[in-house]
Structure 1
Amino acid sequence: MENGQTVLPHQTRGPDSTGSTDLTLLVIENDPAGTFTVPELLDASGTRVRVRTARNLTEAERLLTDDVHCILLDLALPGADADDELSVLRHVLKLAPGHAVLALASSGHVESAADAVRVGAQDYLLREELDGRLLNRAVRYAVERKRADTAHYKLAESRLRAQENARLERGLLPTPLLGGSDLRFAARYRPGRSRALLGGDFYDVVRTPDGTVHAMIGDVCGHGPDEAALGVELRIAWRALTFAGLCGDQLLSTLQRVLEHERESEELFATLCTVDIAPDGRRAGLCLAGHPAPLISRDGGTAQLLPQDDGGPALGLLPQARWPRRQVELGSAWNLLMYTDGLIEGRVGQGTQRLGQEGMVGMIDRQLTAGLRGESLLEAAVAEVRDLNGGELTDDVAVLLLERRRGTHL
């Protein structure tokens, strides 16, 4: 005996051994001293199984401490439900869901023992065949099998949760509504959070019944799930308000109230850029709320930034802020690129220099000159920014491109 525990040395180390780690076994048996006997087998390696004994479930619950690795349960333990001979086992499995469990039965109850494994036990032992070597081996096997089962369950659960999150996030990404418009649309989205599909960046494009095409891109400060959720709420609110006929300062003022009510912290704010393109496709209204101005290339000309000196503050910073709407001439054929700051804040080379808006304009201009358009243009732009950064970007990146080609009639 050792501190009230029976010590069963392990005689040999075979392929079923878990190594030199000692294990603790809790035996729940009606009369351990009288019917449960195991000879002491010497082991040159010094590994052992410590045994605790309990005569009933109440005593077992008291002895079931964190250092117990395995439970050996006598299926003939008094207290079983008359209609369910495995009710005691079910109780133990609920009591100790993280422990390996072995069922002990007589040779005349092999079917019940097999049922115990189907219910949740790792294995079963027959009383008439039990000896120290078999018990030691069974305990170590049961512990390893339980560990493997637990790891497999956690992995499967993690994969299922990831799949559910992916489906949810994909469902929250926007589906542009441009039916009836001849404008070409493309977008790229790369969240900064590891293994996420959504970040704090958001965008949307819709066409209202009067033929106006409305585009929006924004960025909630931060990169966590709260910021991602707020971005989705602002995008959905923008779409609803746009279809309700709001535009410019009235729309942004309402969005600010939405942000103030929905944000988790008063420190959260969001930048936003909105563009409403007239039905003829030649002019647009531009509103900036602390967001970088879009880039435009007119009729194959040099890329340049739209004016941004008269924009308003980010949403959520100033309660009584106003956002002027500037009229912009687009021309007969153009490419309009809207983006978040993740596209321009990546490093350039080994130093601390950032790409910036000027660097982005030069990059897009080269790619347009090379004939890239639509999806290919955005894919090349994001890839080059990542390469210049020397690896994956840590910030969210959203890029939206609208294109009107020569000869298009809206």
Structure 2
Amino acid sequence: MPVPVPRQRGVPVAETDRGSACAAGSSSSGDLTLLVIEDDPAGTFTVPELLDAAGTRVRIRIRSARNLTEAERLLTDDVHCILVDLALPGPGEEELAPLKHVLRLAPRHAVLALTTSGDAERAAEAVRVGAQDHLFRDELDGRLLSRAIRYAVERKRADTAQVKLAESRLRAQENARLERGLLPTPLLQGSDLRFAARYRPGRSRALLGGDFYDTVRTADGTVHAMIGDVCGHGPDEAALGVELRIAWRALTFAGLCGDELLSTLQQVLEHERESEEIFATLCTVDIAPDGRRAGLCLAGHPAPLIARHGRPAQLLPYDDNGPALGLLPRARWPRRQVELGAAWSLMMYTDGLIEGRRGPDAKQRLGQDGMVEMINRQLAAGLEGESLLEAAVSEVRDLNGGELTDDVAVLLLSRHGARR
């Protein structure tokens, strides 16, 4: 027998307690609540109990409203499904206006459309615009409605999960594109040097931390490399790191080098930083066109590591370096001349690589000496280039007993014939 949708004459916006529908506040965690929006009911109906996958009884609690205004007041988070009559008067003259209004009002709820069997095209259109399913009034009975509710709720959950998965994938793709845009592309066209880099932000889910690096070749054949670290780990520090990198590249192409370049970068930092307590360490290297010697400037930054063919890796001289940028108003940064040789690899890094522990249960930091020992083991194992950097970052993380809390950036430049 066809079962009409109920009218609640006495209490038009109250929950009903007929048949298996239960009163407000008495439903168990497995019960479902149906909000019925219908203007011209001819009686009441009951909904039989359902069994879930575990065989547990699930009851349907019915809540009814005669118009969209009443429905909006009754639409709470405990409503699982909405049954809306397509013949209900709605705002404006738009086709399926009541349904579309409900879909905008309740984007997270399952929605069923109610119409007559003679209006199949309209019912199909209702599903196309967002309803989980449609029901024909003249074919409706309680058991059919129960199945439709369960189906609509499960389909909405599946649709929501699919949307979240798609959004997550899209966000990952957008993040990857953003990261590629924020991290530098080395400009080494015409140089025989080989380049590799690894970057790992310390903040969970962050694209970038306060570490930054860059490498370019100027018109005279000199290769300039830089790596730096803004103190702190927030988005402001990451943004400042990007600004300093871009400023360094522009100043380098403009011909600045050494103390003049670092002094100008300090002015940029002082102008852009959020607080006077913010500072940045920096290491710059300019490699002569013949690749055999370089100028080195350190602004409170760890000294690079060099590995020459057939010899153990060691740190470059790091005495007589200048302070971090942003600490002293009139600081100076001496440029030290370094002999590289014919074949070599030069590794520049931020302190995140050396501040982890020597072991999961150790209190001692890895430090520069521990890093040099680690790199020498990896070089002896034949690692080079990208593989060397990946192994170094992974081993530092393993020694620390988990993810590193500080950002890590590592840059490797190699001359042909050297380990890279």
Q: Give the structure-2-normalised TM-score.
A: 0.84
> 2:197 maps to which residue?
187
Alignment of 1:282-361 (within 5 A): 282-298=292-308, 300-349=310-359, 350-361=361-372
- Measured against aligned partners, the alpha-carbon deviations of 1:144-181 in whole angstroms (never above 9, x if no partner) come to 22222122212211221111111110232222112222
Q: Does the Cα contact within 8 Å between 1:10 and 1:46 map onto a contact in 2?
A: no
Note if 1:21 corresponds to 2:30: yes
**Distance of aligned partners of 1:143 and 1:36 in 2 relative to their CA distance in 1, 3 Å threshold:** farther
Aligned to 1:234: 244
- Tell me the distance in 1 between the aligned counterparts of 2:325 and 2:309: 34
Deviations 1:243-291 (Å, cap 9, x if unpaired)?
A: 0111122212222232333344544332110011222333322111111
**Alignment partners' CA distance in 1, 2:338 and 2:375:** 20
In the other structure, the counterpart of 1:73 is 84
> In structure 2, what is the equivalent of residue 92 of structure 1?
102
How big is the alpha-carbon RMSD for the aligned residues of Structure 1 and Structure 2?
2.9
Summarize deviations over 1:371-400 as a string: whole Å, max 9, x none. 544334334433433343344434322222
Question: 1:80 Cα shift?
Answer: 6.6
Q: Deviations over 1:178-235 (max 9, x none)?
A: 2222233332333334455533322111111112111101122333443333322221
Q: Secondary structure at the match of 1:53?
A: strand
Distance 1:36 1:264, change over 3 A: farther
Separation of aligned partners in 1, 2:30 and 2:381: 66
Equivalent residue of 1:7, what SS?
coil
Look up the match of 2:40.
31
Equivalent residue in structure 1 for 2:139, among 129, 152, 176: 129
**Gap runs ≥5 in structure 1:** 12-18
Which amino acid in the other structure matches residue 386 of structure 2?
A: E
Partner of 2:3: none
SS of 1:229's equivalent?
helix
Deviation at 1:119, TM superposition (A): 0.9
Once residues 371 and 107 of structure 1 are traced to their aligned partners in structure 2, the CA distance between those partners, rounded to angstroms, is 75
Alignment partner for residue 169 of structure 2, among 159, 171, 175? 159
- C-alpha distance in 2, partners of 1:200/1:167? 19
Cα distance, 1:105 vs structure 2: 0.7
Is the Cα–Cα contact under 8 Å of residues 80 and 86 in structure 1 kept in the other structure? no
Change (3 A) 1:107 1:252: same
> How far apart in 2 are the matches of 1:28 and 1:370?
72
User: Could you tell me whether the CA contact under 8 Å between 1:8 and 1:48 is conserved in 2?
Assistant: no
Distance 2:178 2:49 in 1: 58
- Matching residue's letter, 2:317: P
Query: Are residues 8 and 243 of structure 1, via their aligned partners in 2, closer, same or farther at CA, if it must alter by over 3 Å?
Result: farther
Cα distance in structure 1, aligned partners of 2:415 and 2:295: 16
Q: Which moved more, 1:142-151 or 1:364-373?
A: 364-373
**SS of structure 2 residue aligned to 1:230:** helix
- Inter-partner Cα distance in structure 1 for 2:67 and 2:200: 58
Map of 1:53 onto structure 2 = 64
CA contact (8 A) 1:183 1:403 kept: yes
Q: Indicate the SS of the match to 1:6.
A: coil
CA distance in 1, matches of 2:378, 2:91: 77
Determine if the alignment matches structure 1 residue 259 to structure 2 residue 269: yes
Contact 2:349 2:408 in 1 (8 A): yes
Q: Deviations over 1:274-315 (max 9, x none)?
A: 011222333322111111011223453343222223222222
**Bigger shift: residues 366-375 or 183-192:** 366-375
Q: Which residue of 2 aligns with 1:276?
A: 286
- Superposed CA offset, 1:49-85 (max 9, x none): 2322222222222222333222211111134755x43
User: Contact between 2:222 and 2:286, CA under 8 Å: does it hold in 1?
Assistant: yes
Contact 1:212–1:279 (CA under 8 A) maintained in structure 2? yes
Choose 310-319 or 206-215, whichever is displaced more.
Answer: 310-319
- Amino acid aligned to 1:95: L
Hey, what does 1:216 align to over in structure 2?
A: 226
Q: 1:378 to 1:49 in 2, by over 3 A?
A: closer
5+ residue gaps, structure 2, are 1-7, 22-27
- Alpha-carbon distance change, 162 to 267 in structure 1, aligned in 2, over 3 angstroms: farther
Question: For residue 157 of structure 1, what is the amino acid of its counterpart?
Answer: E
Tell me the distance in 1 between the aligned counterparts of 2:312 and 2:18.
84
TM-score (norm 1): 0.86
